[in-house]
């Protein structure tokens, strides 16, 4: 895909950005993310149960310590799930998305050494509000975009998830 040179007179720049209601596809995508999050929490809970079983049965640790650790672990998983599910629920409640043209000012990948994961984000120069905004794309979208590229983008209002990105001839 070729890079589109940016000029203020580019004809599509005159199109105004809008705040629109979420489409049925957007709602289905957010519901799927919430379901995937719930599955991840179940896997984490099973892992913690396995660790506790190992510590209690194999290592013969103090039962009070094991129970205390178990309670803290379950509360931590519950809090984590609540916070992330709440963000998705608030996005669904707001039922809005920003749609418009944006220039990708910067691609950011923050690596967390503790978990071994990266948080991918894009800093956008939106055509409205004249300020930069940080949004969170999927891996596929992040890898297909380049800095300085002008795209049409749809972003969920509350949690800033990228719902769709379109280049002049491609939608992915």
> Is the pLDDT confidence value at 26 over 60?
yes
> Is the pLDDT confidence value at 143 over 60?
yes
User: Mind listing the pLDDT tens digit for each residue in 41-84?
Assistant: 888 888 888 887 777 777 777 777 777 877 888 888 888 888 88
Q: How many CB atoms lie within 10 A of CB 104?
A: 20
User: Mind listing the pLDDT tens digit for each residue in 76-109?
Assistant: 888 888 888 888 888 888 888 888 888 888 898 8
**Segments making up each domain of the chain, as ranges:** 11-21+96-171, 27-93
User: Mind listing the pLDDT tens digit for each residue in 114-139?
Assistant: 777 778 888 887 765 555 578 888 88
Q: Can you give the pLDDT at residue 168? A: 65
Q: Can you give the pLDDT at residue 132? A: 55
Domain 11-21+96-171, CATH 3.30.1150 — does that match?
no
When pLDDT is cut at 50, 70 and 90, the band that residue 38 belongs to is confident
> Is the pLDDT confidence value at 22 over 80?
yes
How far is it, in rounded angstroms, from Cα 97 to Cα 74? 34
pTM of the model: 0.61
> Is the pLDDT confidence value at 34 over 60?
yes
When pLDDT is cut at 50, 70 and 90, the band that residue 156 belongs to is confident
> How big is the CA angle at 36 (ends 170 and 39), to the nearest 5 degrees?
160
Q: Residues of the chain with pLDDT > 70: what percent?
A: 84
Q: Can you give the pLDDT at residue 122? A: 87
Task: Tokens 């589109």: give the residue.
Answer: 4
């Amino acid at each position: 895909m070729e890079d589109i040179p940016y000029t203020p007179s580019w004809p599509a720049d005159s199109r105004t950005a809008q705040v629109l209601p979420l489409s049925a596809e957007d709602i289905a995508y957010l519901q799927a993310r919430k379901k995937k999050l719930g599955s991840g929490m179940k896997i984490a809970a099973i892992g913690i149960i396995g660790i506790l079983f190992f510590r209690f049965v194999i290592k013969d640790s103090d039962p009070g310590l094991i129970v205390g650790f178990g309670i803290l672990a379950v509360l931590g998983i519950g809090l984590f799930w609540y916070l992330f599910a709440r963000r998705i629920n608030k996005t669904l409640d707001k039922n809005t998305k920003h749609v418009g043209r944006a220039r990708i000012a910067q691609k950011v990948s923050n690596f967390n050494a503790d978990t071994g994961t990266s948080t991918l984000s894009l800093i956008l120069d939106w055509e409205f509000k004249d300020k930069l905004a940080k949004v969170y794309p999927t891996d596929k979208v992040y890898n297909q975009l380049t800095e300085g590229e002008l795209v049409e983008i749809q972003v969920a209002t509350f949690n800033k998830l990228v719902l769709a990105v379109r280049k002049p001839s491609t939608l992915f």
